[in-house]
Amino acid sequence: MRRFLTPGWLGLHAIAIVLVVAFLGFGWWQYDRAQAGNDRSWAYTFEWPIFAIFVVVMWIKMMRDEVNGDPAGKAPAVIEEPAEAEVKRDIIRQQEEEDPALAAYNRYLARLNSESHRRD
């Protein structure tokens, strides 16, 4: 529990509490306006408390991730080449075998593309 008392976490706790109180206050304000005859405010009467619930859910999720150790924030041990790169190489190799003129044109376009990036 000590880790949730660091300055960063205390700031997050304060922000979450302020947001929840503000969103519930906005919902109450919209409810008063809806009671006064503003029909559009009925939607906001329910929307603001939903925002407050979302803040509470995310606050709890952040604390659970801190306790359990969030695996999503860690980089993968091995960076793999995307499978599509190998597929593209196979397609290029196949095109070069089938149509040498098309392969030469594609190499020309690739060279033009690389030269245009060098000027930037």
For 46-91, the pLDDT digits (tens) are 999 999 999 999 999 999 988 887 556 566 566 666 666 677 777 7
CA distance 42 to 81: 52
pTM of the model: 0.56
Assess contact for 24 and 63: CB atoms under 8 A.
no
Which has more confidence, 75 or 114? 114
